[in-house]
Amino acid sequence: LHEMESIAESIRDQFQQFRDLKLVAAERRLDAHQEAYALAIKATCYLHGPEVTRRTGQIKLYEWWNTHCMFLSEEARKAIMDAYTAVDFYEALKSAQGEERDPTKRKSGAEQMADLAEKVRGVPARILKSLQLPELILKAPDANSTPSESRSD
């Protein structure tokens, strides 16, 4: 009997450690998605800044990616990499466009740049959608209830 109680206690401890680990992982995942969202918003600003701003922003995005990608959902990982590559292609197109003398090719480059900018602008929404957090539903407090009774669990 004592041995069975000891085994049961060990299983409870392991279960609690597992739950604690899941909570920590969920918190890290939420933090990573929030940071990815903020970086994606900044990436849209990088496109319209000078070359040094785009390069600095791209380096920051890459460095952040290397330390946080494990915590992102698959769609958020794809979205961040799309932003990274779009900023890179945007830079190449912008450089080439400045050297292009043919107006038709220049227009084509401008259209491609607009497409890339639109792709980067869509990244924050993709990150939010990929997180799929449950909505918190809070009931309005009843005039006759106590604060603890008005919360939805």
pLDDT band at 10 (very low <50, low <70, confident <90, very high): confident
Q: How many whole angstroms separate alpha carbon 85 and alpha carbon 115?
A: 13
> What's the rounded mean pLDDT across residues 2-28?
81
Q: How many whole angstroms separate alpha carbon 82 and alpha carbon 32?
A: 17
Q: What is the 3-state secondary structure (H, E, C) of 73-109?
A: CHHHHHHHHHHHHHHHHHHHHHHHHHHCCCHHHHHHH
Name the average pLDDT for the chain: 78
pLDDT tens sequence across 36-85: 989 888 888 877 778 788 888 888 888 988 888 888 889 999 998 888 88
Give yes or no for a contact between 46 and 53, defined as CB atoms under 8 angstroms apart: yes
pTM score: 0.63
Q: Which residues contact 41 (CB under 8 A, 6 or more apart)?
A: 124
Backbone angles phi, psi at 5, to 5 degrees: -65, -40
